[in-house]
Amino acid sequence: MTDLAIVIIGRNEGGRLIRCFDALPKGVPAVYVDSGSTDDSMAVATARGLITVALDRSRPFSAARARNAGFAALVSKKISARYIQFLDGDCALAPDWTAAGIAALDADKTVALVTGWRREIDPTASIYNAISDTEWHRPAGDIVACSGDLMVRGQVFGDIGGFDATVIAAEDDEFCLRIGKAGWRLIRLPRAMSLHDANMHHFAEWWRRAVRSGHGFAQVGHMHPPYFRRERLRVAFYGAALPVLAVVLVLAKSPLIVLILLIYLGSFLRAASGLRRAGMPAKMAAHQAVFLTLSKLPNAIGMARYLGRRLARRDIEIIEYK
């Protein structure tokens, strides 16, 4: 049995995937799972000696499905690892991360999963990259959930059945919640884990990503109540109830529309103040607060999309934002 194996997932990552492969630790078995790329991702992975898996295009792609396929490939190759590092193809591991993750899991048998800090490779490239960088930086210590870059005990992954392939957004949250419910601890170490390249430069990309997040709030919140309860309540209020009321007031030519605007202004000011307290410069805090306030609208669309699909009993399909 080896200490570590790595599962990388990707789709048309281009140069980001090469950066990911270049940062992999030497001598560690690694699998690359591809979700329908039209570039040379598979050829690049094969040339570098990775085990490769191309997902069947007849079934909907999802990050959860890809990660499960990577784990299955390790099993089929009879590679048994104490720990599995999952990594997205647009990320590159920090040089000393895997050693730190292994040491943390070795030191505490009550911990099933460790993660660290994911940072944007170029947060100044766009406001959307900057927003992502802020989202990634969360407090260290015991956690409930984390992003898909994580190191988990191989035995625990198998025991809980891996990721739920029906979850198309926040699948990492759902996976972590089941680990916690099984009695394990999850830890974020106070150290760099990976560099992420959001490469997001257009409002439409950010909007679709926020729709996807709303879908995750609804689906995972439905599966694991009361998880995401606060997020869903905020979206229902700011992203659905207030906009509907605003339309009614505008049609009625009511001066009460000013109250709606004041409520949104208050939301913006609270968001900006919170970012300032976290140490963000005032101008950037104000800029990001605009998007935090606005995000409730696409979040609401995503929540409504999940609800509609669930009521109609239709298959859940992945929401791509790039």
Q: For the whole model, what pTM was predicted?
A: 0.94
Q: Tokens for 236?
A: 């229902």
Q: Is 322 exposed, middle or buried (0-12, 13-18, 19+ CB in 10 A)?
A: middle
Model confidence pLDDT, tens digit, residues 253-297: 999 999 999 999 999 999 999 999 999 999 999 999 999 999 999
- Indicate the angle between helix axes 203-223 and 171-181, nearest 10 degrees: 30
**Where in the sequence of the chain do the CATH 3.90.550.10 domains occur?**
2-201
* 3-state secondary structure (DSSP) of residue 167: coil
Q: What whole-number distance in Å separates Cα of residue 127 and Cα of residue 198? A: 11
Q: Is the pLDDT of residue 216 over 70?
A: yes
Distance spanning both ends of the chain, measured CA to CA: 38
pLDDT of residue 320: 73
**Residue located via tokens 């739920």:** 164
CA atoms within 13 A on the CB side of 231: 23
CATH, domain range 2-201:
3.90.550.10
- At residue 321, the pLDDT reads 66
Report how far apart, in Å, the C-alpha atoms of 16 and of each of 9, 22, 35 are: 12, 10, 15
Across 11-104, the runs of DSSP E, i.e. the strands, are 30-34, 51-54, 81-88, 91-93
CA pair distance 151, 98, nearest whole angstrom: 8
pLDDT at position 315, please? Answer: 73
Distance CA 152, CA 98 (A): 11
Read off the tokens for 189. Answer: 């170490």
* pLDDT tens, residue by residue, 43-78: 999 999 999 999 998 888 899 999 999 999 999 999
Whole-number Å distance between alpha carbons of 214 and 219: 9
Q: How far is CA 251 from the centre of its chain?
A: 39
Q: Is pLDDT of 301 > 90?
A: yes
Residues 106 and 113: their CA atoms lie apart, in Å, by 11
Q: What type of residue is 79? A: I
Amino acid residing at 62:
S
CA 174 to CA 143: how far, in whole Å? 13
**pLDDT value for 106:** 98
